[in-house]
Amino acid sequence: MKTIKFLIGVAALLVGLSAMSANAGAYVGVNYFTMVPSGTQAGGHPDVTLEMEWDNSQIHEGEFTVPDKECQCDDARIVAQHFPTGFIGNPHATPRCEIAEFAQGRCPASTQIGVAEPFGPGEFYVPMYNMTPHPDEASLTAFWVPLVAAPVFVTLASRTESDYGLDAESSPIFHPLAINALGIKLWGVPADPVHDIERFIPPLKGFAACGGFFGCPEVTGAKANIPPVPYLQAPTECNVPLVGSLDLSYYTGEVIHADDPWPSTTGCEQLTFNPSLTAQPTSQQADSPSGVDIDLKVPQELSPTTPSPSEIRSTTVTLPDGFSINSSAADGKVSCSDADSAIGTRHAATCPDFSKIGTLSLDSSALPVPIPGAIYLGDPKPGDRYRILLTANGFGTHVKLFGSIFPNTQTGQLVVKFIDLPQSPLTEFNMHFFGSERGLLATPTQCGEYPVESEFVPWDGSLPDQTSLSHFTIDSGPNGAPCPSKPRSFSPQLQSGTADTTAGAYSPFSFELTRAPGDQNLSTVQLQGPPGFLASLRGVPYCPDSAIAASADPSYTAGQELANPKCPASTKIGVSTTGAGAGSHQVYLPGTVYMAGPYKGAPFSIVIVTPVVSGPYDLGNVVVRSAVSVDPLSAKVIVHSDPLPQIIEGIPLRLRDVQVDLNRPGFTLNPTNCDPFAVETTIGGDEGGVATPKASFQVANCSNLAYGPKLQLKLSGGLKRRGHPAIKAVLDTGLNEANTRKVSVTLPKSGLLDNAHINTICTKAQFNTSSCPDGSRIGEATANTPLLDQPLSGPIYLRSSNVKLPDMVVDLRGQIGLQLVGKVDSVNGRLRTRFTTLPDAPVTKFTLNLVGGKKGLLINSTNLCKTPQKAQVEMAGQNGVHLDRKTKLQLSCGSKASRHKRHSSSRAVR
């Protein structure tokens, strides 16, 4: 009866009637759908029978309806079957029929992969062929609808947008055909002789020459005459719910979905699982940039009688300690966005070239040859920063797989993970990560043999996980040098100086520290500037400690710091550049140098904030603070850095170059002494090495500097014989003059030291701990300098000395602390005080007050107001100019004394 109905329908079509229901939209739905495998063995190769029936406008409830309208909107347009996850097909199991052969009905029997029943189960069946697909198709099958010679093409494709399962989708059904039922039987092993009974023999002149399939006698019983190769493979995950489904698309635009339970696979204990992995760096040199070649093999034997091995679900590769991400690898790189990676689609990825970090060759038992691909940097995600994307394209299939690299945050050791790989018969991954000077990775710092550990998880949980161990060797030092010693050598190089070497000039100052490849990494820096090299702190505010802490907060990104620095711009005193990476190519990261307040006992500090952005990675901010102190005797600037970072977000920095430029206008000041000096450093390495590189430092044109300070000496109170006068000394120096190096004052013979008043002397130990007894305090002093906002001032003590008389020490305090040591002795019966090593620092006015009276150290041998007194003053500038003067003492003798004019005679000696 169904055949008669079909023939009547065909006749109606042939007379040109268009199929259209009088009740458009009324007949939409699936009556039944089944998808049944012939067996449940995991990894087996079952035949699969699909049966389905649906409503349409021409055939409904057993009656044929002659259409009376132009639109057949209730007819099915596309039939799509979705096989369960893990069920896969091998389109290369048989030869392929060419379109021309199919059109003539001459497809070879070896290309048949099943039969189709275009009018539903139990009706006529026709051969279904494995066709040569179009370039953008993975697999194509086809069958003919008898009598009307209408072809139906079915595309087989992998669901690369989701679970990589198998889909079979028909081409649009010929509108007047109005098929409402379909049966398909796909053969698990097409060349198996068991299928010969249904294998069609193509007539010499084609099926069309004898009136179609029904007019050609003895059309079945052919032999395939090819080796039996599996065409279908069951999932290798056991005892999990599976389902097959159908999507029926109508010309109305409606899509009807139907599911059919698929029996769970069984027998996973019969499967094998024996993957292996090897990894070899592209460089065998220590402490060098390198790529890596990774070869992952998953044996997949295609036997018609033996279940295929389990597919690999996950793999974890642990690279050896010391083999890390190269900190310069991402320089100039971008990431491939999820949109460009085409994740969630069946399209090929369109990643930017600058995100490419390697190449890939992917092989599968379902592919005739390996397909090529590439490896890209993926977009960083929270908790998954270092993502990589594997892509491969070929035979209409676009593979896209994400993996992740997890570095140990303390050591940098790498763990590479690929989680939930598709249930697809992937037999080999050949991954090549680029090397050269921008290699993604960096080799260990020592020679030796290094293990690579791998763990593999099969899709079937009943099978044990497998492990694999391979090794690689590092056999030379960087650039082919001998293997590094243990510990490695450490000989960093220093370059330093000012842009303008004019004595007494304000000039930017630069400092650069570099190390050679293979040396220990830079760890700590201590710098001591040359005498007289100073900085002006006048008007320079400090970056608050709260802002420094905020910059270092892990939640504060480098991008935020670049857009809105935490330290105020007014505290900026310079810039920095840090070079990091293995080999000759480094990534250079700019930073900013800020002035900050007291730190670790030092009066002030500098802070370098470096936002770390490399390629697509924002790794936060590196904040290095350095305590800055001033030697109280020489005024040398001494800088002690905190430990330099060795690793950031799991990436060992391998610091190679640290440069600091203090370029704030009017900040750093040259000495006024043209003697040759040096910038001295003590550099620590990460393996305990210590180096002391120096950089010569010398300014010029000191002779062009003026030097003519004026010293006034005033005595008051106790001016009579046996009196104890107070002494006030004032030294005035003009701006832009050379600084004073030494001062010697020899009092007249009338001034004697009263030993009876030397009751208490401060010991050096007491002085160093600021615990001098009050009795040792003999006066006060103040120094005005253009480098500081406030003058320095402090007490004057008698301090123990290595000679007979105690020293007179001026203890100046303020933003910095200075100590001026005066040696006291007697020359030709005259009391002398010498400051022989004054710091090369600009002081516009220095005032010294020594107490008199009961605490006065000076006692008069005559009445000073009766006889004018003169002191011998000798001074020397830092530029080498010497001054000798006889200076009258200014005395507070009342009206009579006020008539005396006190002048100084001077004699300049160069």
E strand intervals along 692-753: 694-697, 710-716, 726-732, 740-746, 751-753
838 and 742 in contact (C-beta within 8 Å)? yes
Mean pLDDT of the 132-155 span: 86
Mean pLDDT of the 722-744 span: 94
Residue 777: enclosing H or E segment and its boundaries? strand 777-784
Q: What is the pTM of this model?
A: 0.85
By DSSP bridging, strand 292-297 and strand 312-318 are: unpaired
The pLDDT value given to residue 547: 98
Backbone angles phi, psi at 703, to 5 degrees: -65, -20
The pLDDT value given to residue 73: 60
pLDDT band at residue 838 using 50, 70 and 90 as cut-offs:
very high
Cα separation of 840 and 670, whole Å? 10
Cα separation of 363 and 298, whole Å? 10
Cα separation of 797 and 791, whole Å? 19
Bigger pLDDT: 471 vs 144: 471
The pLDDT value given to residue 178: 65
Looking at the predicted structure, is the pLDDT value of residue 69 above 60? no
860 and 720 in contact (C-beta within 8 Å)? yes
Determine which of 78-87, 478-487, 860-869 has the lowest per-residue pLDDT on average.
860-869
Looking at the predicted structure, is the pLDDT value of residue 607 above 70? yes
The pLDDT value given to residue 105: 84
pLDDT band at residue 23 using 50, 70 and 90 as cut-offs:
very low
Of these ranges, 148-157, 172-181, 879-888, 895-904, the one predicted with the greatest mean pLDDT is 879-888
The pLDDT value given to residue 218: 52
Q: How far is CA 684 from CA 257, 491, 623, 793, in A?
A: 70, 10, 18, 37
- Model confidence over 391-423: pLDDT tens digits? 999 988 999 999 999 999 999 999 999 999 999
Looking at the predicted structure, is the pLDDT value of residue 57 above 50? yes
* Dihedral (CA of 749, 751, 753, 756) sign: positive
pLDDT band at residue 3 using 50, 70 and 90 as cut-offs:
very low
Of the candidates 138, 136, 143, the residue with the CA atom closest to the CA atom of residue 186: 143
The pLDDT value given to residue 300: 83
The pLDDT value given to residue 207: 52
The pLDDT value given to residue 898: 43
Bigger pLDDT: 22 vs 398: 398
**% of the chain beyond a pLDDT of 70:** 90
Looking at the predicted structure, is the pLDDT value of residue 791 above 60? yes
Q: What is the DSSP string of 108-145?
A: -GGGEEEEEETT-TTS--EEEEEEPPPTT-SEEEEEEE
First to last CA, the chain: 133
Of the candidates 279, 311, 308, the residue with the CA atom closest to the CA atom of residue 292: 279
Query: Can you read off the two tokens belonging to residue 509?
Result: 């100052």
DSSP 7: H
Query: Can you read off the two tokens belonging to residue 139?
Result: 């697999």
Average pLDDT for the chain: 89
Backbone angles phi, psi at 104, to 5 degrees: -95, 0
Looking at the predicted structure, is the pLDDT value of residue 674 above 70? yes
787 and 537 in contact (C-beta within 8 Å)? yes
Q: How far is CA 463 from CA 131, 327, 459, 467, in A?
A: 37, 40, 8, 13
Backbone angles phi, psi at 663, to 5 degrees: -120, 15
Looking at the predicted structure, is the pLDDT value of residue 222 above 50? yes
Bigger pLDDT: 792 vs 208: 792
SS3 501: coil
By DSSP bridging, strand 710-716 and strand 890-891 are: parallel
Of these ranges, 178-187, 388-397, 565-574, the one predicted with the greatest mean pLDDT is 565-574
531 and 697 in contact (C-beta within 8 Å)? no
- Model confidence over 290-311: pLDDT tens digits? 999 999 999 888 889 999 999 9
Backbone angles phi, psi at 259, to 5 degrees: -115, 155
Mean pLDDT of the 524-540 span: 96
* 909 Cβ neighbours under 8 A, 6+ residues apart: 882, 883, 884
Tokens 């490695």 correspond to what residue? 488
The pLDDT value given to residue 66: 43
pLDDT band at residue 602 using 50, 70 and 90 as cut-offs:
very high
Looking at the predicted structure, is the pLDDT value of residue 825 above 70? yes
pLDDT band at residue 122 using 50, 70 and 90 as cut-offs:
confident
The pLDDT value given to residue 72: 52
Mean pLDDT of the 363-384 span: 92
Cα separation of 589 and 617, whole Å? 13
The pLDDT value given to residue 120: 79
The pLDDT value given to residue 293: 96
